[in-house]
Each structure stands twice: as C-alpha cells, then as structure tokens.
Amino acid sequence: MTADPQNSPFIKHLASSDKLIRDSALDSLRTYLSGRSEISEIDLLKLWKGLFYCMWMQDKPLHQQHLARDLASLVEVLQQPVVLPFLDSFWKTIAREWGGIEALRMDKYLFLIRQYLNASFRYLSRQNWNNEAAIEQYAEILEETPLNVLDVKIPNGLRYHVLDIYIDELEKVGAEKLECIPLEKLLEPVRRLEGESKVKSVRNAAKETLDDDRLKAWRGEEVHKEMREGGSEDDEWGGIDD
C-alpha cells in the first residue's frame, strides 16, 4: 500500500447511506484486496482501523447488517496467503477497540464478530476441512486474541461473545459435513480457557460451550431428551438473526 489504507476514499465511502456509492466502494476494496498475494501486518492493521470506524459511522440498523455481511465477504476474495493474516488483524482490531465501543454501538460489532467467525469457518470448510496447517494457524489466532487465556488486555466481553456464538456458527457452516469437521482441534482454544483461565466466569462460559448438546450429538453421544425433540430451542434468545 502506498497510501494510508484507513484514509483511502473507498474505505470512507463504505459507510455511505447511498447504496450506489457503498457498492462501488466495496467493489474497489475487493479489487484491491484480490490483487495482492501479500500485505504487511501494519498495513492490514491500518486497513482494519479504517474498516472499524467505517462500521462505527454506519447508523441505520439495516445498513449495519449489510455492511457487516459485506465486510465478512471480503474473506472470499482474498488470496490464500492473505486470509489468515487478514483474520488475525480483524481480531486484534476488535480486541484493541472494544473498550471504546459505546453501548448503543455494541450490537453492530457483535453482529460483525458473528459474521467474521462464520466467514472464518467457511474459509476452512471450502478446503473440505483438510488444510491442517490453516486449521492449526486459525486455532492459534483464536488463542492469541479473542480466546486468549491470560492476557488481561483482552476484554472478557469479547471472550464471552465468541464463546456464546462459537457452536452456532460452526453448526451453520458444517452441519452438512459433520464427519469432516476437525471438531476437537477447533475446540482446543475453548478447552484451554476452561482449564487455564484465572477468571471463574470465563471458565464457566467455556465449560458451557463445551457442554453444548449439539457437540454431544455430533459425536454420537447421548443428548438431553428435550434437545432430541427440539423442545429447548424456543426457550432462549438465539442472538441476532442472519
């Protein structure tokens, strides 16, 4: 990048209320990203700072959801060597900026995180879950930032949210090929939190994720009767609909 990416016109235009301007900016960003086989970490972090504040400026709920989905779709146009560094920069940006997100703006970032966790799993699934190196690297990215065990700079609110949506998004992506999913490898960051976090509420949240009846069903284990009958799904709010 020859210019500061967070100040690029097409980044700023992503927050436009005019759909034509917004779509044109997204096309420009896709073209830019798809043409690069390598982007430095500092440039990716600058880019994500711009994208973070682009989302910050988007006020209308419907436009917020569209923008979140559009930003998550960028993963699909990236050349393979850029995908994991791009995702790593996303998580680092969210963790860094989390403390400054106002309550009225939090929902759109929670939705963006959901979209990005989903996009991450879709990236792994497009390789039929066979790319062991990518799976290992992504697990390390999760362990380093959103599901970090010990780093006090990582906000617990981010940990809780990722734990809360983890199985939901994995199910959406992998439900049709459960036998292909490297389930235990993908659950390693969650297990580390359960076993090593110094915060009891984080350990409990991780345990709740690992005790999800869907995981037991995927492994062929016995599950609660109400889960088999589908009776428990209406008893609690399932988060923001996609």
Domain 5-220 of CATH type 3.40.50: no
Calculate mean pLDDT across residues 28-34. Answer: 93
> What does the pLDDT look like over 34-67, one tens digit per residue?
999 999 999 999 999 999 999 999 888 998 999 9
The token duo for 178 is 């459960």
| pTM of this prediction exceeds 0.85 | yes
Question: What pLDDT is attached to residue 235?
Answer: 45
- So where are the chain's domains? 5-220
Q: What is the pLDDT of residue 236?
A: 43
Give the Cα separation of 104 and 92 in Å (integer).
Answer: 22
Give the whole-angstrom CA distance, residue 48 versus residue 87. 10
**pLDDT mean over 159-182:** 93
C-alpha to C-alpha distance for 186 and 169, rounded to whole angstroms: 12
**Those residues with Cβ within 8 angstroms of residue 105's Cβ, 6 or more apart along the chain or in another chain:** 56
The band of 233, judged by pLDDT with boundaries at 50, 70 and 90, is: very low
| HEC secondary structure over 2-54 | CCCHHHCHHHHHHHCCCHHHHHHHHHHHHHHHHCCCCCCHHHHHHHHHHHHHH
